[in-house]
Amino acid sequence: MKEYLLIIISTVLVNNFVLVKFLGICPFMGVSKKLETAVGMGMATTFVLTLSSICSYLLNEYLLIPLGIEYLRTIAFILVIAVLVQFTEMVMHKTSPVLYQVLGIYLPLITTNCAVLGVALLNTQQQHGFIESALYGFGAAVGFSLVLALFAAVRERIIVADVPAPFRGSAIALITAGMMSMAFMGFAGLVAA
Amino acid sequence: MLNAILSISLLALAFGLLLGYSAIRFRVEGDPLVERIDAILPQTQCGQCGFPGCRPYAEAIAADSAEINRCPPGGETAMLALADLLGRDPVPLDGEAAEEAEPVLAVIAEQECIGCTLCIQACPVDAILGAAKQMHTVIASECTGCGLCLPPCPVECIRLEPLKVDTGSWRWPFPTTPHDQMKAG
């Protein structure tokens, strides 16, 4: 039990995928202009990441390893993630139009989110079991959502702040991201994982 | 080697089948009736039916909350096509639509035109040609006779004239809907 808790804390804070491992930077910069969209993106990513880390674990364990074709992992995982996102989108469109509207365009965008593939690959690299994989994916997604929401909230305030002209727009956003990244490094040593 | 090719191909095939199946299984139905009604309407977006455009009117017809006889640009042809599509009885054209049932054309009395461009902005099909402080004129082949250019004209120099049928303008009565004609033309 303690082990699982450590995985969650480790992925959310210590080894945060965006600010420490620098995965999934594209949505981090792209979808963080408003808090609402950031939360939507975070929800969609959490859903897909958890599901895809489970599916890629199953695929790796029961198809790739028995057949001795682990070297095709990347292609197989990309395939699984893309199919999963498409399938989820279709089912969601049919069964829950409200959620479909909330997640909207963010769902297909996740297909190309490198954090999703990164989590799947790291899972196999670190030889996680089934529950560990699922928790690792979930924790990574929670960390991603947390940072995205924090960053969006900061950016909403930056817009109304008196920023010097050369720093306006993306420049100040990147500087802010860098400072957040440094702040998150303060979590290193919180757990040894 | 063969092992790898086969298994990845099979995996891709299985996923393809899954997605293909779910595309059919989880298809979200739009309202096909609205699409078909919208296809019959002339798409002038003139608003004379009392709705903000052709599509809202089509939705109202599909929801059974509007009569099929409210479209002057479509005229009797569109009304009959709608009656045919919906299995309703043909009804005489309503109100304004009835008065303008015969094809009319907007004509600008050019010596009175002051070049204010107000009618150009009102025209839903861009059938009026002109510029500020220049004389305007109506492109006869584009005008649908909807009459929307009449109210904004400050000097009342636009009239609707019945389209005189002569050897130049007479056409074979095509058995098509106005929408088909617009697409062809």
Token pair 């479209």 is found at B71
Q: Is residue B127 part of a domain?
A: no
Question: Is B28 within 8 Å of A86 when comparing Cβ atoms?
Answer: no
What per-residue confidence (pLDDT) applies to B111?
87
> Is B157 annotated for ligand binding?
no
Look over chain B and give the mean of its residue pLDDT values, rounded to a whole number: 81
Residues of the domain holding B94? 32-99+176-184
The total domain count for chain B is 1
| pLDDT exceeds 70 at position B11 | yes
Residues of chain A found within 8 Å of residue B27, distances taken between Cβ atoms: 94
Q: How far off is chain B from A61, nearest CA to CA, in Å?
A: 14
Interface touch A94/B3, C-beta < 8 Å:
no
Please tell me whether B149 is known to bind a ligand: yes
Q: Are A7 and A136 in contact (CB under 8 A)?
A: yes
List of chain B residues whose C-beta atoms are within 8 Å of the C-beta of residue A72: 4, 8
The predicted pLDDT at position B183 comes to 58
Q: What is the pTM of this model?
A: 0.58
Across A148-157, B12-21, B134-143, B171-180, least confident range: B171-180
Contact: A68, B12; criterion CB under 8 Å: no
* Beta carbons within 8 Å of B83's beta carbon, 6+ residues apart: B68, B89, B90, B91
Tell if the CB–CB gap between B15 and A67 is shorter than 8 Å. no
Can you give the pLDDT at residue B76? 81
More reliable by pLDDT, A153 or A30? A153
Q: Is B143 annotated as a binding residue?
A: yes
In which band, very low, low, confident or very high, does the pLDDT at B15 lie, cut at 50, 70 and 90? Answer: very high
User: A33-47, A136-150, A153-167: which has the highest mean pLDDT?
Assistant: A136-150
Structural domain boundaries of chain A?
Answer: 17-185
Residues across chain A: 193
Query: Is B4 close to A69, i.e. CB distance below 8 A?
Result: yes
In angstroms, the separation between the Cα of residue A72 and the nearest Cα of chain B is 8
pLDDT of amino acid A152: 92
What pLDDT score was predicted for residue B17? 94
Q: Which of A63, A68, A86 sits opposite B19 (nearest CB)?
A: A86
| Higher-scoring residue by pLDDT: B29, A31 | A31
Sign of CA dihedral B163, B166, B167, B171: positive
Higher pLDDT, B30 or B89: B89
Assigned domain for B81 exists:
yes
Distance CA B147, CA B106 (A): 7
Q: Which tens digits make up the pLDDT trace of A54-92?
A: 999 999 999 888 888 888 889 999 999 999 888 888 887
Q: Which of A153-162, B148-157, B171-180 has the lowest mean pLDDT?
A: B171-180
Question: Any idea what the CATH number is for the domain that residue B37 is in?
Answer: 1.10.15.40
Is B27 in Cβ contact with A69 (below 8 Å)? no
